[in-house]
């Protein structure tokens, strides 16, 4: 049996989130990423 599990990569929970200067989203360049905490439990 083969099982496929989808995992989402998100900004680390301990990193301060910064908004882009043009207010169109969150700055993701050079930010530590980690696995979604809910995916770790599953």
Q: What pLDDT is attached to residue 9? A: 84
Q: What pLDDT is attached to residue 7? A: 84
Q: What is the pLDDT of residues 1-42, one digit of tens each?
A: 999 888 888 888 888 989 999 999 999 888 898 888 787 787
Residue 9 structural domain:
1-42
Q: How many domains does the chain have?
A: 1
Q: What pLDDT is attached to residue 37? A: 78
**Helix, strand, coil proportions of the chain in percent (round to 5)?**
10, 20, 70
Q: What pLDDT is attached to residue 38? A: 80
**Residue 13: closest CA among 21, 5, 23, 38:** 38
């Amino acid at each position: 049996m083969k099982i496929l599990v989808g995992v989402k990569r998100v900004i680390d929970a301990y990193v301060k989130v910064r908004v882009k200067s043009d207010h169109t989203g969150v700055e993701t360049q050079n930010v530590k990423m980690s696995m979604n905490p809910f995916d770790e439990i599953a």
